[in-house]
Structure 1
Amino acid sequence: MTETEYDYDELGLVAGLEIHQQLDTATKLFCQCPTELREPEEAERTFTRYLHPTRSELGEIDEAALEESKVEREFEYLAYDTTCLVEEDDEPPHELDDEALDTVLEIAQLMDMSPVDQAHVMRKIVVDGSNTTGFQRSTLMATDGEIETSDGAVGIEDLMLEEESAQRVAETDAGVRYSLDRLGIPLVEIGTSPDISTPEQALEAAERIGMLLRSTGKVKRGLGTIRQDVNVSIAEGARVEIKGVQSLDDIDDIVRNEVGRQVALVEIANELIDRDAEVGEPEDVTDVFEDTDSGVIRGALNAGGSVMGVPLYGFDGLVGREIAPDRRLGTEFSDHAKRHGAGGIFHTDELPAYGVTEEEVEALREAVGAGPEDAVAIVADETDVAESAIEAVVERAETALEGVPEETRGANDDGTTRYLRPLPGAARMYPETDVPPVEPDPSEVPEPELLTEKVERYQEEYDLDAGLAEQVAYGEYMPLFEDVVSDGVDPTLAATTLESTLTELRRDDVPVENLTDEHLTGVLEMVEDGDLPNEGVGDLLTALAEEPDRTPEEAAEEEGLGGADEEEVREAIVEVVERNEAQVEEEGMQAFSGLMGECMGALRGKADGDLVSQLLREEIQKRA
Structure 2
Amino acid sequence: MSANEETADFDYEALGLVAGLEIHQQLDTATKLFCQCPTELRDPEAATRTFTRYLHPTRSELGELDDAAVEESKVDREFEYLAYDSTCLVEEDDEPPHELDEEALETTLEVAQLMAMEPVDQAHIMRKIVVDGSNTSGFQRSTLIATDGEIETSEGTVGIEDLLLEEESAQRVAEIDDGVRYSLDRLGIPLVEIGTKPDISSPEQALEAAERIGMLLRSTGKVKRGLGTIRQDVNVSIEEGARVEIKGVQSLDDIDDIVRNEVARQATLVKIADELTECEAAVGDRQDVTDVFEETDSGVIAGALGDGGSVMAVPLYGFDGVVGREIAPDRRLGTELSDHAKRHGAGGIFHTDELPAYGVTADEVEALREAVGVDPEDAVAIVADETEVADAAIEAAGERAETALEGVPEETRGANDDGTTRYLRPLPGAARMYPETDVPPVEPDPSDVPEPELLTEKVERYQDEYDLSSGLAEQVAYGKYMPLFEDVVADGIDPTLAASTLESTLTELRRDDVDVETLTRQHLEDVLGLVDDGELPNEGVTDLLTALATDPDRTAQEAAEEADLGGADEDEVRDAIIDVVERNEAQVEEEGMQAFSGLMGECMGALRGKADGDLVSELLREEIQKRS
The reply to whether TM is greater than 0.5 is yes
1:451-600 equivalences under 5 Å are 451-600=455-604
1:166-215 CA distances to partner (integer Å, 9 max, x unpaired)? Answer: 00000001100000000000000000000000000000000000000000
**Which of residues 66, 70, 94 in structure 1 aligns to 2:70?**
66
Q: Distance in 2 between matches of 1:580 and 1:335?
A: 73
Q: Residue 148 of structure 1 aligns with which residue?
A: 152
Q: Distance in 1 between matches of 2:597 and 2:321?
A: 75
**Which of residues 444, 447, 465 in structure 1 aligns to 2:448?**
444
**How many correspondences in the alignment?**
624
Q: Which amino acid aligns with 2:5?
A: E
**Which of residues 200, 220, 226 in structure 2 aligns to 1:222?**
226
Of 404-413 and 509-518, more deviation after overlay is shown by 509-518
For residue 576 of structure 1, report the CA deviation from its aligned partner.
1.3
Q: Residue 183 of structure 1 aligns with which residue?
A: 187
1:455-477 CA distances to partner (integer Å, 9 max, x unpaired)? Answer: 00000000001111001000011
Of 516-525 and 584-593, more deviation after overlay is shown by 584-593
Of 506-515 and 248-257, more deviation after overlay is shown by 506-515
For residue 588 of structure 1, report the CA deviation from its aligned partner.
2.6
For residue 596 of structure 1, report the CA deviation from its aligned partner.
1.4
For residue 3 of structure 1, report the CA deviation from its aligned partner.
2.5
Q: Which amino acid aligns with 1:3?
A: E
For residue 572 of structure 1, report the CA deviation from its aligned partner.
0.9
For residue 438 of structure 1, report the CA deviation from its aligned partner.
0.5
For residue 591 of structure 1, report the CA deviation from its aligned partner.
2.3
| Aligned: 1:412 with 2:416 | yes
For residue 347 of structure 1, report the CA deviation from its aligned partner.
0.6
For residue 89 of structure 1, report the CA deviation from its aligned partner.
0.3
1:86 aligns to what SS in structure 2? Answer: coil
Q: Distance in 1 between matches of 2:616 and 2:348?
A: 70
CA RMSD, Structure 1 to Structure 2 (Å): 0.8
Q: Residue 104 of structure 1 aligns with which residue?
A: 108
Q: Distance in 2 between matches of 1:542 and 1:3?
A: 49
Q: Residue 433 of structure 2 aligns with which residue?
A: 429
For residue 586 of structure 1, report the CA deviation from its aligned partner.
2.9
Q: Distance in 1 between matches of 2:382 and 2:440?
A: 53
Q: Which amino acid aligns with 1:151?
A: E
Of 422-431 and 288-297, more deviation after overlay is shown by 288-297
Q: Residue 49 of structure 2 aligns with which residue?
A: 45
**Which of residues 342, 345, 350 in structure 1 aligns to 2:349?**
345
Q: Residue 248 of structure 2 aligns with which residue?
A: 244
| Aligned: 1:3 with 2:23 | no
Q: Distance in 2 between matches of 1:36 and 1:87?
A: 14
Q: Which amino acid aligns with 1:479?
A: P
1:17 aligns to what SS in structure 2? Answer: strand
1:3 aligns to what SS in structure 2? Answer: helix
Q: Residue 276 of structure 2 aligns with which residue?
A: 272
Q: Distance in 2 between matches of 1:391 and 1:585?
A: 91
For residue 582 of structure 1, report the CA deviation from its aligned partner.
2.5
1:176-325 equivalences under 5 Å are 176-325=180-329
Of 476-485 and 567-576, more deviation after overlay is shown by 567-576
Q: Which amino acid aligns with 2:23?
A: I
For residue 365 of structure 1, report the CA deviation from its aligned partner.
1.0
Q: Distance in 1 between matches of 2:568 and 2:286?
A: 84
| Aligned: 1:617 with 2:625 | no
Q: Distance in 2 between matches of 1:106 and 1:597?
A: 50
For residue 354 of structure 1, report the CA deviation from its aligned partner.
1.0
1:272–1:567 CA distance, 2 compared to 1 (3 A) = same
Q: Distance in 1 between matches of 2:31 and 2:136?
A: 19
Q: Residue 25 of structure 2 aligns with which residue?
A: 21
Q: Residue 82 of structure 1 aligns with which residue?
A: 86
Q: Distance in 1 between matches of 2:423 and 2:103?
A: 37
Q: Which amino acid aligns with 1:530?
A: G
Q: Distance in 1 between matches of 2:345 and 2:490?
A: 57
Q: Distance in 1 between matches of 2:288 and 2:83?
A: 45
Q: Distance in 1 between matches of 2:232 and 2:47?
A: 29
1:522-562 CA distances to partner (integer Å, 9 max, x unpaired)? Answer: 11110000000111111111111111111111000000111
**Which of residues 340, 363, 371 in structure 2 aligns to 1:367?**
371
**Which of residues 105, 108, 124 in structure 2 aligns to 1:120?**
124
Q: Residue 134 of structure 1 aligns with which residue?
A: 138
1:114-147 CA distances to partner (integer Å, 9 max, x unpaired)? Answer: 0000000000000000000000000000000000
Q: Distance in 1 between matches of 2:180 and 2:510?
A: 34
Q: Distance in 1 between matches of 2:369 and 2:604?
A: 82
Q: Residue 407 of structure 2 aligns with which residue?
A: 403
For residue 590 of structure 1, report the CA deviation from its aligned partner.
2.6
**Which of residues 21, 32, 35 in structure 2 aligns to 1:31?**
35
For residue 300 of structure 1, report the CA deviation from its aligned partner.
0.9
Q: Which amino acid aligns with 1:492?
A: T
For residue 614 of structure 1, report the CA deviation from its aligned partner.
1.3
Which ranges in structure 2 are unaligned for 5 or more consecutive residues?
none
Q: Distance in 2 between matches of 1:291 and 1:584?
A: 88
Q: Distance in 1 between matches of 2:310 and 2:593?
A: 89
Q: Which amino acid aligns with 1:616?
A: L
Q: Distance in 1 between matches of 2:492 and 2:516?
A: 24
Q: Distance in 2 between matches of 1:433 and 1:511?
A: 45
For residue 432 of structure 1, report the CA deviation from its aligned partner.
0.1
Q: Which amino acid aligns with 1:365?
A: R
Q: Distance in 1 between matches of 2:23 and 2:125?
A: 19
Q: Distance in 2 between matches of 1:262 and 1:619?
A: 77
Q: Distance in 2 between matches of 1:285 and 1:597?
A: 78
2:5 aligns to what SS in structure 1? Answer: coil
Q: Which amino acid aligns with 2:614?
A: D
For residue 581 of structure 1, report the CA deviation from its aligned partner.
2.1
1:81-122 CA distances to partner (integer Å, 9 max, x unpaired)? Answer: 000000000000000001000000000000000000000000
Q: Which amino acid aligns with 2:511?
A: R
1:346-366 CA distances to partner (integer Å, 9 max, x unpaired)? Answer: 111111111111111111111
| Aligned: 1:377 with 2:372 | no
Q: Distance in 1 between matches of 2:281 and 2:580?
A: 90
Q: Which amino acid aligns with 1:229?
A: D
2:592 aligns to what SS in structure 1? Answer: helix
For residue 623 of structure 1, report the CA deviation from its aligned partner.
2.5
1:588–1:359 CA distance, 2 compared to 1 (3 A) = closer
Which ranges in structure 1 are unaligned for 5 or more consecutive residues?
none
For residue 583 of structure 1, report the CA deviation from its aligned partner.
2.4
For residue 620 of structure 1, report the CA deviation from its aligned partner.
2.1
Q: Distance in 2 between matches of 1:310 and 1:593?
A: 79
Q: Distance in 1 between matches of 2:475 and 2:390?
A: 55
Q: Distance in 2 between matches of 1:53 and 1:588?
A: 84
For residue 589 of structure 1, report the CA deviation from its aligned partner.
2.5
Q: Distance in 2 between matches of 1:3 and 1:529?
A: 62
